[in-house]
Amino acid sequence: MRLFMLMPLFVWLYEIVSLIRPLKISAWYKFIFALILMVGISREFLYRRTARGFDVYELPYPALLAMSLIFNFLVITFFILLMKDACFIVWKIFSRAPFPGHCASLFVFSVSLCATLYGTYEGLRVPGVNSHEVVIENLGKEFDGLKVAMLVDIHADALTNREAVQKIVNKTNSLGPDLILMPGDFVDGQVISRFKDLEPLKDLKAPLGVFGSTGNHEYYYDLKGWLNALENDFGVKMLENEHVILKSGDAELIIAGVPDMTGGQMGISAAPDIEQALKDIPEGSPVILMDHRPNGAPRNAKYNVALQISGHTHGGQIPGIFQIAKKMNGGFVRGWYQVENMKLYVSPGTSQWNGFPVRIFDPSEITLFILRSPE
Ligand SMILES: [Fe+2]
């Protein structure tokens, strides 16, 4: 049995011992509570594992939602229980009084339940709009006021389903963007099962086009199938170490994209190559670059990129993970960063990821950039 299958069992057993056992309720209620938590770990066994991602079996939406709620409760409770048990050890060292196990378990249960309900709702709700005016060096006056919408980390699947993606698309269109950029992690699952969930992307409307680049999750499933669907069925022009030149009068604006590094690591696609992506661009024209992960920013900043837009971090998702996400992503987690002369914006993501479908104090967003030429 693999480690990823043992971990949920370990968490379940730990919660029986540390959370349920001290509660002053009948054995029958404890048994039912343990069974309910078992539903949360069964979710892990109902996922089809692919190379490094996973796809959800077709289950009724309410069943998926219930399993996700219980799974989120299990994970959140696990971390709070670790803190509770650290307090238990300190109590035992310094006090002869019996530890108030029942009250501590009730407290952990209440906090976890509130955090789970709030965090799951935050993950599922339609994202808000986060608008930024951004001055782009060398941007021609013809592009001043250009509206660029950014959607990233949609992770369409059985939970972020067709209906949820349609709401994101409708809200994006309501902003009247001139251009839409999507730097990766479109979907989790195979084309045959998840095509319908990502299909609303075909309704995106932007007169200057909809462009994308791959995220790591595109490589976990049917890469060729998804690239074909994105380009030919949904109208998303994928930029893989490529650029396009947008023109308005005498002004030019370069939109470039590099693929996520995962394809190169797995040997199934090109590695990110900023030199190739910007080959033969007109001198002096500003560049906006899509790069799924932010940690390539120091490298990209050396190529006169004006603005890099990234996702991948999900903003950390819950307090405590922020610092881990920071360490894993070159110090960039969410919001604005200045990297040499390049501006970097890291979106917390437009949706959620089914591996841990929760967001606490980290709302998802549709990002809207309003480009400004210098005064
Ligand atoms: Fe990602």
259 & 137 share domain = yes
Q: Are residues 152 and 120 in the same domain?
A: no
Query: Which of these three, 74, 109, 124, is where a domain ends?
Result: 124
For ligand 1, the distance from its centroid to the CA atom of residue 27, given in whole angstroms, is 44
Helix (H) or strand (E) holding 252: strand 251-258
69 and 202, same domain (yes or no) = no
CA of 286 to the centre of ligand 1 (A): 26
Q: Which tens digits make up the pLDDT trace of 119-160?
A: 999 999 999 999 999 999 999 999 999 999 999 999 999 889
Whether 215 and 361 share a structural domain: yes
Query: Residue 51: its pLDDT value, please?
Result: 46
Give me the CATH number covering residue 301. 3.60.21.10
- Alpha carbon distance 277, 233 (integer Å): 24
Cα(258) to centroid(ligand 1), Å: 14
247 and 162 belong to one structural domain = yes
* Distance from the Cα of residue 281 to its chain's centroid: 31
Residues lining ion ligand 1 (Cβ < 5 A) are 185, 215-216, 312
Average pLDDT, the chain: 92
Number of domains in the chain: 2
Residues 63 and 138 in one domain: no
144/139 Cα distance (integer angstroms): 7
Could you give the CA distance from residue 309 to residue 183 in angstroms, rounded to a whole number?
7
CA proximity to 371, closest of 129, 178, 127: 178
- Rounded Cα distance between 373 and 293, Å, is 26
Any residues with CB less than 8 A from the CB of 145 and at least 6 apart, and which? 370, 371, 372
Give the single-character DSSP code of 329. Answer: T
Domain span at 102:
3-124
Residues 21 and 37 in one domain: yes
- Please tell me the distance between residue 215's alpha carbon and the centre of ligand 1 in angstroms: 5
104 with 173, same domain: the answer is no
Same domain as 146, residue 291 = yes
Domain boundary at 124, 147, 168, which? 124
Task: From 124, 139, 169, give the residue that closes a domain.
Answer: 124
CA of 102 to the centre of ligand 1 (A): 41
> Percent of the chain, pLDDT > 70?
95
Residues 148 and 62 in one domain: no
Indicate if 153 and 40 belong to the same structural domain.
no
Rounded Cα distance between 27 and 24, Å, is 9
Q: From the CA of 61, how far away is ligand 1's center (Å)?
A: 24
pLDDT in tens, 166-185: 999 999 999 999 999 999 99
**Residues 107 and 171 occupy one common structural domain:** no
Which stretches of the chain are DSSP H helices?
Answer: 3-15, 27-45, 61-94, 101-124, 162-174, 191-198, 223-228, 261-266, 274-277, 297-300, 321-328
C-alpha–C-alpha distance, residues 345 and 368, integer Å = 11
- Ligand 1 centre to CA of 38 (Å) is 29
